[in-house]
Amino acid sequence: MNKKADVIIVGGGINGSSVAYNLLRDGFTGKVVVFEKDKVYKYSSTPRCAGGFRQLYTTDINVRLSRYSLNIYKHFSEDMAVGGEKPKIDFKQRGYLFLATEKMMPQFEKNLKVQHRNGVQSRLLDKNELLTLIPELNVDDLAGGLFCSESGYLDAYSVMQGYIKYAKHLGAEYVYQEVTDLVIEGRKMKGVRLDNGDIYEAPLIVNCGGSWGAQLSAKAGMKFSIVPSPRQIFQFTCEKPLENYLPLTMDPTGVYFRHEGEQLIAGYSEPIRSAYDYSWRREDFVEHVWPILAHRVPNFEKAKIVRGWAGIYDYNTEDHNAIIGKYPGVDGYYVAFGFSGHGMQQAPGVGKGLSELIRTGKYETIDLSPLRPERFTEHQLVVEDAIY
Ligand SMILES: Cc1cc2nc3c(=O)[nH]c(=O)nc-3n(C[C@H](O)[C@H](O)[C@H](O)COP(=O)(O)OP(=O)(O)OC[C@H]3O[C@@H](n4cnc5c(N)ncnc54)[C@H](O)[C@@H]3O)c2cc1C
């Protein structure tokens, strides 16, 4: 006899676990099973991410998702305690800062309007204000910046573990096996096939498979323009410590940097290439990152690389945003993938939204319908300018 659930979630990363948690927390009484193929999350994107949290987006939907998530992350430790044990997510609200050249400022002024109408306390800074934040900054070629003090960075792995622990506490079952196929009969979702050939039945499947999610869909003929694209992060020290702890700072070139404990991390906007490549290359730091760091903050001239790592973006090549919602044409199939580098910070809102959509058939807290899968055939792309 096949095993049965009411909802199957493929992928127990930050998004899949947020969906499981929110469903059960919101009162869903059915059986929720999460399939995760990588029990230690070695190759999942969540633990490999930079942990950046920002509200400085250019589309209403991304700003709203971030704002919702901000409120969740601010109280995450208290709200997600299980058996008195609080997850320590280390949310450093040191701000998020986009540095701007003269040419970029008019666009930032426009972005500010989108952010303000959604309640974000972002503001434009002049050169002097930049220097109060980062006294060592080279502002010679800058006109100013766009800053939001409520944002910052956090420990994504601990957030994910917090969701997993609470979801299990509420009754979600985690099964550490790979889903190899979706089982569809006619136009109805029937379940999933596992790597040992077994079928696990459920009328409702949520695909939160990260950079593998689109491939599982494609096997059943549902195609998405998503590629797995590698990104590296470099951890380094500098001889002379900075006066202040850094906001997550984005240089006009797309190189970003922030503190990681007393050390620093940095990354850059790498060309999109379809590969599962988890190697990091010291020479990429030397060639693409270090010259920009050294120009921007003279203390970084004597940067000493400590380590590096790489992870995978599930990159939506059409409009660089998540694809979230019910898949049209197959009853019972929901997706949440294609996050393109900002899926950690959106996870609380994604889980809440999908919980509502699954339980009640509509969004209540945040309308995630702009991110629906049909937007591509409807030519209603969500074009976000601030993607790196
Ligand atoms: C270098 C780097 C920096 C980043 N920086 C940021 C940042 O600063 N801020 C931010 O918000 N985001 C950032 N991101 C993006 C962020 O990491 C992702 O958007 C987010 O972690 C996606 O979470 P997820 O749960 O959807 O995917 P994942 O964490 O990848 O989880 C998906 C899970 O599904 C499992 N799975 C997949 N297919 C199957 C299957 N068939 N059967 C069973 N299990 C399956 C996988 O093993 C995996 O554990 C960054 C990413 C990288 C790589």
Q: Could you state, in order of their start, the residue ranges of all structural domains in the chain?
A: 3-76+156-225+318-375, 96-151+227-315
* Ligand 1 centre distance from Cα of residue 225 (Å): 17
Within 6 A (CB) of ligand 1 lie 10-16, 35-38, 41, 44-46, 48-52, 178-179, 208-212, 216, 231, 233, 267, 311-313, 337, 339, 341-345
Q: What pLDDT was estimated at residue 238?
A: 95
User: What mean pLDDT do residues 222-243 have?
Assistant: 97
d(CA 75, CA 21): 16
Ligand 1 center–CA 102 separation, angstroms: 35
Between the CA of 337 and the centroid of ligand 1 the distance, in Å, is 9
Give strand pairing partners of 99.
145
Distance CA 91, CA 74 (A): 7
Distance CA 25, CA 276 (A): 34
pLDDT digits (tens, 9 = 90+) for 300-311: 999 999 999 999
DSSP-derived secondary structure for 153-211: E--HHHHHHHHHHHHHHTTPEEE---EEEEEEETTEEEEEEETTS-EEE-SEEEE--GG
Query: Which of ligand 1's atoms lies nearest the C-alpha of 337?
Result: 26
Is the entire prediction scored with pTM above 0.85? yes
Residue pair 14/160 in contact (Cβ under 8 Å)? The answer is yes
Q: From ligand 1's centre to the CA of 297, what distance in Å?
A: 31
Q: What CA–CA distance (Å, rounded) separates 139 from 297?
A: 9
Distance (Å) from CA 121 to ligand 1 centroid:
28
Mean pLDDT of 239-251: 97
Distance of CA 177 to the CA centre of its chain: 23
Which atom in ligand 1 lies closest to the alpha carbon of residue 177?
A: 43
What type of residue sits at position 144? G
Q: Do residues 178 and 37 lie in contact, with contact meaning Cβ atoms separated by under 8 Å?
A: yes
Q: Residue 332: phi, psi to the nearest 5?
A: 90, 15
- Name the residue with tokens 């927390």: 25
- CA 175 – ligand 1 centroid, Å: 18
User: How far does the centroid of ligand 1 lie from the alpha carbon of residue 262, in Å?
Assistant: 26
In CATH, which superfamily holds the domain spanning 3-76+156-225+318-375?
A: FAD/NAD(P)-binding domain (3.50.50.60)
Mutate-to-test residue for ligand 1 from 39, 49, 63, highest number of ligand atoms within 8 A of CB: 49
Q: Which atom of ligand 1 is nearest to the CA of 52?
A: 8
Nearest CA to ligand 1 atom 7: 52
Query: Residues 84-102: pLDDT tens digits?
Result: 999 999 999 999 999 999 9
Contact status, residue 272 vs residue 227, Cβ threshold 8 Å:
yes
pLDDT, position 387? 65
Instruction: Please give the number of the atom of ligand 1 that sits closest to the Cα of 35.
Output: 43
* Average predicted confidence (pLDDT) for the chain: 97
pLDDT at 336: 98
Burial class (CB in 10 A: 0-12, 13-18, 19+), 27: exposed
Tell me how far CA of residue 293 lies from CA of 96, 105, 240, 284, 315, in angstroms.
Answer: 17, 21, 14, 13, 26
- Residue 336 CA: which ligand 1 atom is closest? 26
Tens of pLDDT, residue by residue over 10-51, are 999 999 999 999 999 999 999 999 999 999 999 999 999 999
CA 339 / ligand 1 centre spacing (Å): 8
pLDDT above 70: residue 79: yes
Look at ligand 1, atom 10, and give the residue with the nearest C-alpha. Answer: 342
The residue whose CB lies within 8 Å of the most ligand 1 atoms, and thus the one to mutate among 8, 39, 44, 98, is 44
- Atom 12 in ligand 1: residue holding the nearest Cα: 342
Pairing of strands 179-185, 188-194: antiparallel
Q: Residue 110 corresponds to which tokens in the numbers above?
A: 């426009």
Ligand 1 mutation target, pool 344, 346, 354, most atoms within 8 A of CB:
344
Tell the residue nearest (CA) to atom 21 of ligand 1: 46
384 — pLDDT class (breaks 50, 70, 90): confident
The alpha carbon of 386 and the centre of ligand 1 are apart by a number of angstroms equal to 20
3-state DSSP call for residue 103?
A: helix
pLDDT of residue 252: 97
Distance 308 CA to ligand 1 centre (A): 18
Architecture of the CATH domain 96-151+227-315: 2-Layer Sandwich (3.30)
- Residue 13 CA to ligand 1 center (angstroms) comes to 6
263 CA distance to ligand 1 middle (Å): 24
